[in-house]
Structure 1
Amino acid sequence: MTATTSSTEDAAADFNPMVSPHREDPHLFYRTARSRPPALSPTLGAYLVTRYDDLVTVVDDPQTFSSEAALPFIYANPPEVTSVLEAGGVPETTMVVNEDEPEHRAFRRVFDAGFTGARVRAMLPTMRARADELVDAFAGGAADLVADYAVPFVQTVISAIIGFPAEDTARIQAWTDDVTTLWNPLSPVDDRVAAAHRMAEYTRYLQALIDDRRARPREDLLSDLVHGANGFPGVPDEYTHNIVRGAARVAGFDTTRDAITATVLVILQHPDVRDRVLADPARAIPRATEEALRRDAPHRGLFRITTREVDLGGTHLPAGTPLLLLFGSGNRDETRFPDPDAVDLDRPNVREHLAFGRGLHVCPGAPMARAEIRVALETLFRRLPNVRLADGFEPIYIASYFFRGLESLHVTW
């Protein structure tokens, strides 16, 4: 097979996570896609990599499969969007996730300083206090664990890690949603123009924080980026803008929020799993978390671009071919994970899942995310051992280009 496909093949291979039926359940598409070589999705403009072995081939060979296009650039938008960004003085550089070696190493080492084991341990009291506070605020024997629990819990943690003032959470979240809109080529252009207008204020806000940390460093990621860490110097201000508003705030929020609620849903949908969590939370919660990360990876995937001609999984790809790595598909590849749709807390190879990526660009925040999930679940099931899904609850998933998460998770007790 070559990189040229017929219109019939294009239609069968097309994928749009923003609309039905792929929005509700992409796994039906993934299962079919894994039965054929990588093929072009006309909607996404990229070849879809869906099989586990093909995904590993790509992430383990960064010389052939460059990360330079891993996430879109906001200045890759149409002129009516970029002119607004330029007028607002909004900077853009490449991001850590878009860097290849050797440039990647220095930025990654500084970024990693925000997510060390010591930082994770230091955040545990904040996590526990916030989780208890949120459960205390539940009223009437019912809650939406997305809006009432996972969202404010993760917002508190990621703000503390980065160094955002807690009182600014609402407007930071609004700006973060704007960044996601600007990254999404499937968003209406009018929405992207509106988001671009608001980015000027976000830029001024971030620069004020950067200037403050330059004069008064603290124990936070902003200070690490400004002053340096792990033996590497600080990064230029424009890089700090990109790292904080993108890889730190977007990725650090959406993925962890969705992983918490996906794990709770798995537990509440499976009585045997729930019994194990209540009987032995210290052992069962980490196992349920890894299985939920495998079954419902919160991050849909990242892009790569070929640097040379290469054959991948039976498809010949010229140099410069864009690929979308669909980690959620690889995590249910039956050749790697037998009975992949089942929930198995004793799955021996569950840690081979790709929910946090792999290799050079494995997620630096994975240890922090796992700690957040563990604390959120430990608190919830300790405080509300009788929690159950609300009568008639049916999961509905957000329309998202990058993330796979629940719109709501209604429970009662």
Structure 2
Amino acid sequence: MTACPHSRAPQDAGDRKALPAGETPLPDIEERDGRWHVRSLALVREILRAGGATKQSGFAVEVATQSLPLKRWPVLYADGPAHREQRSKITRFFAPAVVDRDYRDLVTRRAEAFLTQFDDGHAHDLGDIALHFSTQVAARVIGLTASDQERMAWRLAAFFDQPDSMLGELRAGWWARVKTAPETAQQVAKLGWFFLKDVRPAIRSHRDALKAATQGGAEPPDDVITHLIGEGYSDLEILMECLTYGAAGMVTTREFLQMATWHLVEKDDLRRRFLSTDSAGRRAILHEILRLEPVVGHLYRRAQDELRLVDSAGTEHVIPAGARLQLYVRQANSDAGQLGDDAESLCPGRDLSRGVRPEVMSFGDGVHRCPGNSIAILESEIFLERLFRRNVSMMSTPRIEWEDVVAGYAVRGLLLTAPREAATTA
């Protein structure tokens, strides 16, 4: 059994901040309410790596595929050969070496620019700063660079931040809301505004750049929209991809930056360790926080074939073709059988079984593992290292809000301040 190799004080047990009410340890696997609920790390990983035996069933994919007139589906939605082809073509944007080479300077510049806000000695909402920082980085990767970046961040936030389902069902079915809720005229308007103000100008700019390149001009930008235009995607298909990349690049990064800050600002030893170690050490801390606090808590799959799964007690469960599976990322990430009895404690550098990543299932696994994991960690490391060089302190305890379907959290009200002299020491 794995465990934390470091000595820990008794009061350190149970470091989680984001835990939905009622989500207590339950069986590894059970059928309930017409759905199979899977919670153990071994079984969640087995299902996510099952390849063609399952297909994507989260993020309202089944509603969207029956409703939208698309020939090409976003990489988040696609399965089978089409998905494999898409993943192979976008790998070049997200490979670790490419991310470090192409985006480190951008991330560093944007982090420094946004963190200068703390130099005035006043309190600032980190959620707002993280929103604009993560949006501008995501916009560069995607190619959404032909419009006002600050206004685009607020447009995306207005679309995804819902009072009744905070992070949306792009973390929970944005199209389901757009199609079925009677009050969705406002949501459709927000989506149309995003297209008119941000996506369409980006498409036009990229097409002009591609045309100029064919006539001997400068090289066109190397980003996702350029790739999609080259593949013949329609404007609607490009809009869909921009939404999926925008949700992954903006929404989830924004929440993780706040959650990691919350842990680091309250844990003096961990913060000192974060600031004194090297890049590998900082990333180990971030991966452990992400393991403990996955931004998306549930994933969904639909069984294509009959699945036979054996739980930790040796009982076989036969899941029929067509059944929907709800995978509990948060509980898999704290599976005591594979991570130790202290699995709900924060312990960077904990011993892990062979093949278990330090963030465990927080970026997913298998064919739909998040392709942007490298850039998310790069952003987090650079932003947080520079944030805490400013000696920030927390003004009040933030609150957690929940999106029920994917058990995704939103951190709200995280107010930080820094002494004025931080400007000279950051």
Which residue does the alignment assign to 1:8? Answer: none
Unaligned runs of 5+ in 1: 1-22, 228-232
Which residue does the alignment assign to 1:300? Answer: 297
> Deviation per CA, 1:187-232, whole angstroms, max 9, x where unpaired?
99244342124333444453443243233131222112222xxxxx
Q: Distance in 2 between matches of 1:200 and 1:92?
A: 20
Which residue does the alignment assign to 1:3? Answer: none
> CA 1:172–1:267 in 2, change beyond 3 Å: closer, same or farther?
closer
The residue matched to 1:39 in structure 2 has which SS? strand
Q: CA deviation at 1:366?
A: 0.6
Q: Distance in 2 between matches of 1:71 and 1:245?
A: 12
1:245 partner letter: L
Q: Distance in 2 between matches of 1:200 and 1:411?
A: 35
Which residue does the alignment assign to 1:409? Answer: 414
Which residue does the alignment assign to 1:192? Answer: 184
Q: Distance in 2 between matches of 1:300 and 1:405?
A: 12
Q: Distance in 1 between matches of 2:121 and 2:205?
A: 43
Which residue does the alignment assign to 2:339? Answer: 337
1:198 partner letter: K
Q: How does 1:374-389 map to 2 (within 5 A)?
A: 374-382=381-389, 384=390, 386-389=391-394
> Deviation per CA, 1:68-118, whole angstroms, max 9, x where unpaired?
x2321495599xxx7xxx8xxx86853212222211122112333332332
> CA 1:301–1:120 in 2, change beyond 3 Å: closer, same or farther?
farther
Q: Structure 1 residue 221 and structure 2 residue 224: aligned?
A: yes
> Deviation per CA, 1:149-175, whole angstroms, max 9, x where unpaired?
311210111111112136144245424
Q: Structure 1 residue 367 and structure 2 residue 374: aligned?
A: yes
Question: Is the CA contact (8 Å cut-off) linking 1:62 and 1:100 kept in structure 2?
Answer: no
> CA 1:400–1:163 in 2, change beyond 3 Å: closer, same or farther?
farther
Q: CA deviation at 1:272?
A: 1.8
Question: What CA RMSD, in Å, does the superposition of the two structures yield over aligned residues?
Answer: 3.0
Q: TM-score, normalised by structure 2?
A: 0.76
Question: Is the CA contact (8 Å cut-off) linking 2:52 and 2:304 kept in structure 1?
Answer: yes
> CA 1:143–1:175 in 2, change beyond 3 Å: closer, same or farther?
closer
Q: CA deviation at 1:294?
A: 0.2
The residue matched to 1:404 in structure 2 has which SS? strand
Instruction: State the structure with bigger RCO (CA 8 A, min sep 6), 1 or 2.
Output: 2
Q: Distance in 1 between matches of 2:324 and 2:80?
A: 19
Q: CA deviation at 1:399?
A: 3.9
Q: Structure 1 residue 243 and structure 2 residue 248: aligned?
A: no
Q: How does 1:110-125 map to 2 (within 5 A)?
A: 110-116=89-95, 117-125=97-105
Which residue does the alignment assign to 1:144? Answer: 125
Which residue does the alignment assign to 1:265? Answer: 262
1:50 counterpart (20, 39, 52): 39
Q: CA deviation at 1:394?
A: 4.4
Q: Structure 1 residue 393 and structure 2 residue 400: aligned?
A: no
Q: How does 1:34-183 map to 2 (within 5 A)?
A: 35-40=27-32, 42=33, 46-67=35-56, 69-73=57-61, 76=64, 93-116=72-95, 117-138=97-118, 139-147=120-128, 149-165=129-145, 167-171=148-152, 173-175=154-156, 177-178=158-159, 180=168, 183=173
Q: Distance in 1 between matches of 2:240 and 2:64?
A: 15
Which residue does the alignment assign to 2:326? Answer: 324
Q: CA deviation at 1:315?
A: 4.1
1:325 partner letter: L
Q: Distance in 1 between matches of 2:403 and 2:298?
A: 15
Corresponding pairs, count:
366
1:264 partner letter: T
Q: CA deviation at 1:323?
A: 1.6
Q: CA deviation at 1:63?
A: 2.0
> Deviation per CA, 1:329-348, whole angstroms, max 9, x where unpaired?
21111112111111112213
The residue matched to 2:36 in structure 1 has which SS? strand
Q: CA deviation at 1:177?
A: 4.8
Question: Is the CA contact (8 Å cut-off) linking 2:287 and 2:359 kept in structure 1?
Answer: no
1:161 partner letter: V
The residue matched to 2:110 in structure 1 has which SS? helix
- Identical columns (%): 21
Q: CA deviation at 1:266?
A: 1.7
Which residue does the alignment assign to 1:5? Answer: none
> Deviation per CA, 1:338-367, whole angstroms, max 9, x where unpaired?
111111122132626111111212111011
Per mean C-alpha deviation after superposition, the further-off stretch among 330-339 and 109-118 is 109-118
> CA 1:99–1:114 in 2, change beyond 3 Å: closer, same or farther?
same
2:397 partner letter: F
Where does structure 1 differ by over 6 angstroms across 4 or more consecutive aligned residues? Answer: none
Q: CA deviation at 1:300?
A: 2.3
The residue matched to 1:164 in structure 2 has which SS? coil
Question: Is the CA contact (8 Å cut-off) linking 1:261 and 1:409 kept in structure 2?
Answer: yes
Question: Is the CA contact (8 Å cut-off) linking 1:263 and 1:292 kept in structure 2?
Answer: yes
